[in-house]
Structure 1
C-alpha cells in the first residue's frame, strides 16, 4: 500500500459508503480497496445487506374494556437505501450505536400501531381474533420507516397474555359453550328418535302385515318359555283389535 493510500475492507453481505472530507464519495461492494488519502480525511461506513430481527417483549396495553394485557412481537427489517439511511443519523459514533438507535425508532413506530389495534378491542374480541393480529404490518407503518431507508419485511405478534382471572373466565366460557353444544346435539337426537318411533307406530297401526308379524313374534316368545297350546281363530279378526 502506498504511503498516501488507505486500505479498506468491505466484508460479504455488507455494502460500504466512502466519505471524503465528511461528504459522500462512492458506494463500495464487498472487497478490498485502496484509496488516496493524503490528509487522512476518508472514512468508510459499512451497512448490512441482510435482514435483521428485532424482538420486543413484555409490553403492556389496556383493552377497550380496561383489561391489562401483555404482548411481545418480532420485527424483521432491512436497510434498502443506505445513503438515505446514513443521511438520517449522526455519524460521529460507531455503526453499532447507529443500529441501536435505528431499532429504537423502529420499536417506537411499530409498537404504537400494535397498541392502538389492541386497544380498539375488548378483551373477549382480542382473545377470539388473536390469530388475525399475528401479522400486523400496515402500509402506514411501512411508510414511516421508509423515511429512514428501511423496509419492514415482517411484523408479527409473538404472544398475547391475559391476567389469570381473565384466563379462568375464558376457560369457563369455553366449557359452557362446549356443554351447551353437546346438550343441543343430545336434544336433536332425542327429537329425531321420538319422531322415528312415532312414524313406526303410525306405520304399524295401519299395516295389517306388520300386526301379523308382531303377533307371531309374541307367540314365539311365549312358546320359548314352555309347552303351551294356542287356539287361533281368524287371524284377520285378531289384527283388527
Structure 2
C-alpha cells in the first residue's frame, strides 16, 4: 500500500515498520510503502513517545533530533522557551525537539533547603514555582531566627526569605527590634500591714540578644512578665500601705534595679518601670478619706490656735505699752472713739451744762 504524507515545517514524522522505527522524515512530501506507518509530531510541543522511549533513542537519527531531560526525585528543572520561563519539570523523563524551539533548562537541588544562586529571584515569583517554595517575611523592625529540624541555624535580617519546600522542617521565629511595653494590670497584692490593693505596673524593655531570648527561653515575654510580677509582689509586701503610697513614684525604679540583671540574662534590656495606678477597695477608701478629713481638721485647729495665741500676745504687748505711756493710752482710746463715731450718723445731746464739761474730760489727761 502506497501513501503520500505531507510534513509541515514545524512537524516531524516517525516512520514505523512492523512496530520498529525505520526513519525520521522532515518537511515535505513523502511516500510510504507496504506495511510502513507514519506518526506525525508537532515539534513545538514536548514529545510524547508512542512506545518505549529507549527503543526510539536506539535510532541515532531520532536521538540526534531530540533533547532528553531527566529529573530525579530530589530535583526540579525549570524550562525556558525562547528565553522565557515556561514550565516546572518535576521528577520524570522529558523529551523535546531541538530545531524549532530554543530550550534552556535550569536544575535546582531540593535536597537542600537553601535556594542556589543560579536560581533567579524573579523566577521564584511565578505562580507555578511558588508551590515549591516556603516564604517568610521579616518586617523592617524585626529580626528572624531560622530553625531547621528544630535546631537554630542562623539569624535572618529584615526582608523576604524563601526556601525549597522539601521534607525538612523549617521554622522562622521573629523578634521585635523596637522598645516594647509590658503591662501588669490590676495585680492583687497585700502590703506589709495586710492591706489588700490592686496595682497596675508597667515596664519598658528591648530585646538585645535575640538568640539568647528565643533559644534559651520558651516564651521570653511570659517569663519577663512573671519576673516583674514577683518583683512587684516582693516590694509591695515589704512596705506598709502608707509607705507604699508615699514611695509610689520611686518604687518602680527600685524594682527596675532589682530585676535588670535577671532580665539581661534572658537577653532583654530594661529601660524604665513604674506604678501606673494603686486601686484601694471601697472600705479602704472610706477609711483613708476619714483619716484625711481628721488630719485636715487637726491642721485647721492647730492653725487657729496659733493665730489666737499670736493675737493674745499682741494684745498683751499693747496693754503693757499703754500702761507705761498715758499718751499712748489716750491715742488708743481716741482711735476707738473714732471707729465708733464712723458708725454714728447723728448725736442728740440733752442735759445740764455739766454734760459739755464731762465730754471735754474725755480728751483731757
Decide which of 306, 310, 329 is 1:192's aligned counterpart. Answer: 310
Task: For residue 132 of structure 1, report the CA deviation from its aligned partner.
Answer: 3.1
Asked if 1:45 is matched to 2:173, the reply is yes
Q: Does the 8 A contact of 1:47 with 1:82 survive in 2?
A: yes
With the length of structure 2 as denominator, give the TM-score of the two structures: 0.53
Decide which of 338, 349, 353 is 1:226's aligned counterpart. Answer: 349
Asked if 1:209 is matched to 2:327, the reply is yes
Equivalence map 1:122-141=2 (5 Å): 122-141=240-259
C-alpha spacing 1:36/1:154, structure 2 compared with 1 (3 Å): same
Decide which of 58, 63, 86 is 2:186's aligned counterpart. Answer: 58
Distance in 2 separating the partners of 1:87 and 1:43: 12
Distance in 2 separating the partners of 1:21 and 1:66: 52
Q: Secondary structure at the match of 1:138?
A: helix
With the length of structure 1 as denominator, give the TM-score of the two structures: 0.76
Distance in 2 separating the partners of 1:19 and 1:60: 39
Distance in 2 separating the partners of 1:216 and 1:21: 108
Equivalence map 1:1-241=2 (5 Å): 3-4=108-109, 5=115, 9-19=137-147, 24-32=152-160, 44-89=172-217, 101-214=219-332, 224-226=347-349, 228-230=355-357, 239=365
Q: Does the 8 A contact of 1:64 with 1:119 survive in 2?
A: yes
Q: Does the 8 A contact of 1:136 with 1:156 survive in 2?
A: no
Bigger mean CA offset, 214-223 vs 159-168:
214-223
C-alpha spacing 1:190/1:19, structure 2 compared with 1 (3 Å): same
Q: Secondary structure at the match of 1:27?
A: strand
Q: Does the 8 A contact of 2:213 with 2:220 survive in 1?
A: no
Structure 1, residues 79-105: CA drift from partner, whole Å, max 9, x if none? 101122232146xxxxxxxxxx22221
Distance in 1 separating the partners of 2:281 and 2:163: 61
Give the number of the structure whose alpha-carbon radius of gyration is greater: 2
Task: For residue 109 of structure 1, report the CA deviation from its aligned partner.
Answer: 0.9
Task: For residue 174 of structure 1, report the CA deviation from its aligned partner.
Answer: 0.8
Distance in 2 separating the partners of 1:170 and 1:216: 54
For structure 1, which runs of at least 5 residues remain unmatched after alignment? 91-100
Task: For residue 53 of structure 1, report the CA deviation from its aligned partner.
Answer: 2.2
Q: Secondary structure at the match of 2:204?
A: strand
Q: How many residues align?
A: 226
Q: Secondary structure at the match of 2:249?
A: coil
Could you say which structure has the greater relative contact order, defined with CA pairs below 8 angstroms and 6 or more residues apart?
A: 1
Distance in 2 separating the partners of 1:215 and 1:37: 112
